Amino acid sequence: MEPATQKVFDYFEQITRIPRCSKQEQQISRWLRQWGAERALTVNSDAIGNLVIRVPASPGFEQAPTIILQGHMDMVCEKNADSDHDFSTDPIRVVQDGDWLTAVDTTLGADNGIGLALGLALVDDPEVIHPPLELFFTVDEETGLTGAMQMDPSLLSGRIMINLDSEDEGVLVVGCAGGRSTTITRAFEERGLSDDDVLLEVTATGMQGGHSGVDIAKGRANANKIMARLLGAGGSAKPICIIELVGGSAENVIPRMCRARIACDRCHVAAVKQALMDCAQMIGNEFRQTEPGMSVHIDEAPPHGGNRYRLTHKDTAKVLDLLMALPSGPVEMALLNPLLVSTSVNLAMVNLQGGQLVVTCNQRGSIPSRLDAICMTVEATGRLLGARVQTGTGYPSWPMNPESDLLQRCTASYRELFGQKPVVQIMHAGLECGVIGDRCPGMDMISLGPTIQNPHSPSERLYLPSLEKVWCLLVGVLAAYQR
């Protein structure tokens, strides 16, 4: 590893030791403030907790425009079901496997810890020459871009921004989808369990999950959808009643696990189990290429303890109909690029306990009117159940600026450094660029970063050779502003 890249790596390792789940960025914020203070740099913040660290220009760059290097402090905190990792106290256990960096049983947090590390290392390297810099680090990006949505625009003086939150080296992102989340809620009247009821616990687990934007078209299973199919098959064999149903962990994560507790008559247990197992085998065959680790467990549960009530057969069918009817996955592809998702839905979270059903869907779209349309579809599906539906305001898309001076500079630097043109792309994910550009009119923006696979899941990993190339590109682009 080159010395400069080693510095980025060292900073990233320090960051992985600091708890920073979304909405819990206090410790990483204090650490960044201390980092700035130790270098006599000005550090400012706004009411929501976003930070700006101002860095003077290198000699000869005093008249160059201020460049913003932007990333987010928080990370998605996902772990394997059998892990006892405590994200509030335990450091991420980082492991290098050849050219890849990953973590033991948890998300790595390269999204977006590596972006923070790149910004800090660029400032710390005396050989990097640059214009005036503003390191802009936001809070709570992963649960709705909250920091960017509530930012104080006066924090930033610059109008040129490089977002360090992309995940494919060699790709310059120049636009992104907008997004909104819809919550569907309904209360059901429960009935008491009878002496003839046998309880079954059904668990669908071991799926890859991943980012509900960049991974949505990779053919991965949605655990909530899988559970709906399983219970539908069981209910088609013999009547079943749902007691509890819990799946998914966050709006922007494809669900990896779903657990259901159901009741059926004692004389129907064998038939229901067989139907569940047959359906599980069929689904496993469907997803054998993309979900080799998927497994379904069916166990009899003790009748005592826990919830002693269940939904009726009729209401169980209504819940399963809702889950089957809700769209999930790519909905429309881009007209000019059929390989790029234009509109999608993630059936993100399902929670049915004590008769209260809460379903959360996350919609993304590059075209605002099409995003409106898919939100209306999700809302209408919920209303057919007689449920209350509510869609948030979400975050705006980021339209491409084909006249971007920053894009031209980045493209020229990439070609000069590596002998080929970079890919210019619009991303099907929510980037803070859309919100920041909306809050700070006239911002010239681009997003780039090293290659990160499987973000938002314990399979997340960072390709180390790509880090060196991103470093060289950033150094080259910053130096070009002297010309």
Distance between CA atoms of residues 276 and 5, nearest Å: 51
- The CA distance from 324 to 318, in Å, is 10
Instruction: At 376, list the tokens.
Output: 């209306």
Please tell me whether residue 56 adopts helix, strand or coil conformation: coil
Three-class SS state of 400? coil
Catalytic status, residue 141: yes
In whole angstroms, how far apart are CA 242 and each of 33, 184, 230? 50, 18, 12
* SS3 state of residue 273: helix
Q: Is 451 helix (H, G, I), strand (E, B) or coil?
A: coil
Two tokens, residue 92: 């991420």
Residue pair 156/134 in contact (Cβ under 8 Å)? The answer is yes
Residues linked to residue 163 through DSSP beta bridges, in sequence order: 70, 447
74 is catalytic: yes
Residue type, 449: G
Distances (CA, A) of 87 to 10, 26, 48, 328: 20, 14, 22, 29
β-pair partners for 474? none
Q: Are 20 and 7 in contact (CB under 8 A)?
A: no
Which residues 6+ apart lie within 8 Å of 17 measured at CB? Answer: 91, 92
Helices (H) and strands (E) in the chain, counts: 11, 23
Q: Which of 141, 168, 251, 315 is catalytic?
A: 141
DSSP 50: -
Structure tokens at 430: 């929510």
The residue count for the chain: 483
What is d(CA 62, CA 132) in angstroms, rounded to the nearest whole number?
7
Active-site option among 74, 379, 432, 444 = 74
Distance CA 348, CA 328 (A): 9
CA distances from 21 to 65, 78, 89, 391 (A): 34, 10, 11, 24
Active site residues: 74, 141
